[in-house]
Amino acid sequence: MGDLLWILISAMVVNNFTLTLFLGLCPFMGVSSRVATALRLGAADTFVLTLASLSAWFLNRFVLPGAPYLRLISFIIVIASLVQIVEMVIKKVSPTLFRELGIYLPLITTNCAILGLAIFQTNRGYTLLEGLFFAVGAGAGLTLALVLMASIRESTELADLPAVAQGIGLVLIIAGSLSLAFMGFAGLGMAG
Amino acid sequence: MTPKATTPAQDVLRGIWRENPVLVQLLGLCPTLAVTNSVANSLAMSAATFFVLLGSSVLVSSLKRLVPNEVRISTYVLIIATFVTVADMALEALVPAIHKALGAFVALIVVNCIILARQEAFASRHSVGRAALDAVGTGLGFSIAMLLMGTFRELLGNGTLLGHRIFGTAFEPWVIFALPPGGFLMLGIILLFLSWTARRRAEQAKVRPWPEGVAERKAA
């Protein structure tokens, strides 16, 4: 049980997908100007991450032992179709939620965090349960990073910034400082 | 993006600077930040991405009449994934140490938006030759950004360049630049510098009036 908890916390803060491993940066830069949207995207991400972890485990267990060189190709196809299916199901079951998530769902396909999760999980040889904890932790970490970033960006809107510092350059510097702060969690690894 | 009449030279040059995929279009940030902690890693990553970009651009361009419009994105992704698998295996066989350092990021070239963007915006609408030229330009532009990051981060974070010591032993390395936060900070600094020079140039152009006659000739 301790191992599972450690996987969760490690994926969430110590090896935060966005701030330490640089996965899922596109939405981090693009969709992080409002806290509400950041939360929603984070939730959608976590959901797809969990499904991706399940399917990666399934592929690794039953399909890929016979053809390891197809790993990457099969992962990306499964993730792409998974997102499409999730999109269709949500559209059918809950049109309101579908409208709220809107463009973010299809965008998740090209989110490197999803493929990254599948690959990390394979490289580390996680079991089904470990993979699920890993996915939930990674999703929570992504959401945390997105929300932190969005809250900071909401406050920079009111700040009196020099003209040259407006735009993506500043966002990167803020991300750097956040990443620096998250390095503090690395000490947890030694204790665990 | 409507295809304008461009010369082959423009096809190449466009991607290198004016429409640099990383520094101007801000695409493919994940690898730019993740594997640029040393020049050697940057080089290997650039070479792998260059290969994948060139290979898929040529293939996508030559298959453009056969691919149905509805499934074109999935087809592009499949083609890209195939080339990435080749690059991944080649790196593993040729330079195992670097392959280990790059880790999952070689496989993640699949989701590098630069490559998909070039297929969708250029290769699928142009001849094989021009698609190849465009891929070369974009690939070089990506490599320039990667090397810029890699050089500064290795120099400041380690005091070395390609493993050779550049500064004397008195130099205390800024280890932070070799660590993850340094990636964000370095790209932020580069982008702020570029934005500063762009603004300066715009202001200088505003202050300095045209010499006699030039303005009239321009207006005419």
Which of A116, A123, A180 faces B108 most closely, judged by CB atoms? A116
Lowest average pLDDT, out of A177-191, B36-50, B205-219, goes to: B205-219
- Cβ proximity of B41 and B35 under 8 Å: yes
Which of A29, A80, A115 faces B108 most closely, judged by CB atoms? A115
- Cβ proximity of A176 and B181 under 8 Å: yes
> In angstroms, how far apart are the furthest CA atoms of chain B?
65
Contact assignment for A180 to B88 by CB distance below 8 Å: no
Is the predicted pLDDT of residue A104 greater than 80, yes or no? Answer: no
Q: For residue B161, what are the β-bridge partners?
A: B164
Q: What is the ipTM of this complex?
A: 0.83
- Region B178-186: mean pLDDT is 91
Per-residue pLDDT band at A192 (split at 50, 70, 90): very low
Q: What is the pLDDT of residue B2?
A: 45
Which range is most confident: A12-21, A180-189, B167-176?
A12-21
Contact assignment for A22 to B30 by CB distance below 8 Å: yes
Nearest CA to A86 among A106, A100, A72?
A106
Which of B29, B103, B188 faces A173 most closely, judged by CB atoms? B188
Lowest average pLDDT, out of A79-88, A175-184, B115-124, B172-181, goes to: A79-88
Per-residue pLDDT band at A40 (split at 50, 70, 90): confident
- Region B92-106: mean pLDDT is 89
The number of beta carbons lying within 10 Å of the beta carbon of residue B164 is: 8
Nearest CA to B120 among A110, A85, A75, A23?
A110
Is the predicted pLDDT of residue B144 greater than 90, yes or no? Answer: yes
B146 CA: distance to closest CA in chain A (Å): 15
CA distance A152 to A160: 14
| Helix and strand numbers, DSSP H then E, in chain B | 9, 2
CA distance A112 to B84: 14
Q: What is the pLDDT of residue B217?
A: 64
Contact assignment for A183 to B34 by CB distance below 8 Å: no
Chain segment A112-137, per-residue pLDDT in tens:
888 889 989 988 889 999 999 999 99
Is the predicted pLDDT of residue B1 greater than 60, yes or no? Answer: no
pTM value > 0.90: no
Give me the percent of chain B exceeding a pLDDT of 90: 38
Contact assignment for A73 to B33 by CB distance below 8 Å: no
The per-residue DSSP string of B85-138 comes to: HHHHHHHHHH-HHHHHHHGGGTGGGGG-HHHHHHHHHTGGGS-HHHHHHHHHHH
Question: Which residues in B lie closer than 8 A to residue A120 (C-beta atoms)?
Answer: 104
Nearest CA to A41 among A33, A82, A5?
A33
Per-residue pLDDT band at B173 (split at 50, 70, 90): confident
Contact assignment for B74 to A169 by CB distance below 8 Å: no
Question: Which residues in B lie closer than 8 A to residue A115 (C-beta atoms)?
Answer: 107-108, 110-111
Is the predicted pLDDT of residue A188 greater than 90, yes or no? Answer: no
Is the predicted pLDDT of residue B3 greater than 60, yes or no? Answer: no
The per-residue pLDDT of chain B, averaged, comes to 86
Contact assignment for B181 to A173 by CB distance below 8 Å: no
Q: What is the pLDDT of residue B215?
A: 59
B62 CA: distance to closest CA in chain A (Å): 21
CA torsion sign for A20, A26, A27, A28 is positive
Is the predicted pLDDT of residue B109 greater than 70, yes or no? Answer: yes
Q: How many CB pairs under 8 A join A and B?
A: 109
Q: For residue B160, what are the β-bridge partners?
A: B165
CA distance B32 to A89: 36
Chain segment B22-38, per-residue pLDDT in tens:
888 888 888 888 888 88
